[in-house]
Structure 1
Amino acid sequence: MQGLHLTADLSGCDPARPVMGDAAALRERCLAAVRAAGLAPVGEVFHRFEPGGVTGVVLLAESHVAVHTWPELGAVTLDVYVCNFGADNSARARALLAALEQAFAPAGAQRHEIVRGTQA
């Protein structure tokens, strides 16, 4: 079991962007980014909070992506985790995170990479 967990905390996001408060828009953007990165979605849940942001999770054959938005704060948190069992999905994970960040056009971002599991 070895994988890569990427996180990004975004700030200065425009709360008027549809992906900030519209669950359907966020779902569409996430699924398009997952497919463009060459990863395989196997399930999903997106929920809009009243009034406010959206939480969305896409389960991947390779693991998962999670997005949480706070329009009232102009903030978003992103998590992309991929396992690298059988193939190195690290480049795909980085491409997915970059595409999601671009969807929110943040003024600032704090990013972290965590290598998980054991090296075989």
Structure 2
Amino acid sequence: MLQKESILGLHILQTLQSRKEERLLNYTACIHFIDGLLLEYNLEKVGESHFVFDNNSFTTAICLKESHICIHTWPEINRITMDVYLCNYSGDNTEKVRAISNQMATFFEATIVSSNEIFR
């Protein structure tokens, strides 16, 4: 376990742009991809909530034992907003947060419009 003064983690907030509308409208494919990432990075899902809008865009919040992943799609403006936060309680998850964020951009075939790293 890390020292008490370093148990917080990295929170990445991003806005992505993608012209692949089918990615922005496919909640099922996105969740399947995220579930694969959770297995790959040994993260534990403890809950999730989602909503699919009339135009098939979606919002999802996945609660993890280590914190959360949230995705919101905006096909009408070709954008995705996303945040990924993992705490460092049981180990340094900094690179996992970066990798998950990058892999989500790849999933959406997106470019990064803005990205903020917040160390908590």
- For the aligned pair, the TM-score class normalised by the smaller chain equals 0.7 to 0.9
Moved over 6 A (4+): none
CA deviations over 1:10-55 (Å, ceiling 9, x no partner): 01331123xx112222211221122223322121122111124110
Q: 5+ unaligned residues in a row in structure 2: which ranges?
A: 1-6
* Count of aligned pairs between the two proteins: 114
**What is the CA RMSD across the aligned residues, in angstroms?**
1.5
TM-score by length of 1: 0.85
1:110 aligns with 2:114: yes
Asked whether the 8 Å contact 2:26–2:56 carries over to 1, the reply is no
Mean CA deviation greater in 41-50 or 31-40: 31-40
TM-score (norm 2): 0.85
Are 1:100 and 2:87 matched, yes or no?
no
TM-fit CA distance, 1:111 = 1.1
Q: Aligned partners of 2:92, 2:66: CA distance in 1, in Å?
A: 10
1:34–1:96 contact (8 Å) kept in structure 2: no
8 Å Cα contact 2:25-2:56 kept in structure 1:
yes
* Counterpart position of 2:73: 69
Structure 1 unaligned spans of 5+: none
Aligned to 1:13: 19
Counterpart-to-counterpart distance in 1, 2:48 and 2:28: 12
Read off the aligned partner of 1:30 and give its amino acid letter. Answer: I
- Seq. identity, %: 31
CA offsets per residue over residues 36-79 of structure 1, 9 Å max, x none? Answer: 23322121122111124110111111000000001111100110
